[in-house]
Amino acid sequence: MKRTSWLFAALSVAAAIVAASTAFAADSVKIGVLMPLTGNAGAAGQASKAAIEVATDIVNNAHPELGNIPLAAGAGLPHVGGAKLDVVFVDHQGNPSLAQQLATRLVTEDKVNALMGAYQSSCTFTATPVAERYGIPFMVGDSTALNITGRGFKYVFRATPIATDFAHTYMRFFSKEGRQDHQFDRDRQ
């Protein structure tokens, strides 16, 4: 499930860059990805990294066999002169302070055009103000804390539900009405 969400989040960031930068001409579009590649959540970060690498390959190289997946048919970003995605991964190790420092480095030194991450809500919460300060789009792919996108930032976007959405869905499932909906879905299969 996490790999799929990151794949589509990566493709969403690429599509957003394409839409926002039709006059932009470059050989590559650099995306900084903040992940816990080591530490307690290292396995999840590594799985997300692998999914993003697959998405990057889909965008950068023609894959007509993938049907209607956005950006798969051609090579590169079509509205950016065929520019390739250049993904820079950094390991915040699950440390919110380090996530903030690395986000700053990605923007100021690595000169990324967009940011993604950071898996753990605490790390995403500290990294997103950096994106907002520098006017760099930040795609939140997995973090579910409401306060990340509830601050009114213009450059922070979410590709996942918030934590309360999960709670409401669970409660609906456990209610009589939810069980009836679930039974209806099973009967249709």
CA distance 121 to 37: 15
Q: What is the pLDDT of residues 54-86, one digit of tens each?
A: 999 999 999 999 988 989 999 999 988 999 999
60 in Cβ contact with 84 (< 8 Å): yes
pLDDT of residue 181: 57
The owner of tokens 């869905």 is 169
Please give the domain boundaries of the chain with CATH numbers for all domains: 2-158 (3.40.50.2300), 163-189 (no CATH)
CA distance 187 to 10: 35
3-state class (DSSP) for residue 91: strand
pLDDT of residue 1: 45
- The CA distances from residue 52 to 14, 22, 129, 147, 180, in Å, are 11, 23, 23, 25, 37
Give me the chain's average pLDDT, please.
Answer: 84
Please tell me whether the overall predicted TM-score, pTM, comes out greater than 0.85 for this model: no
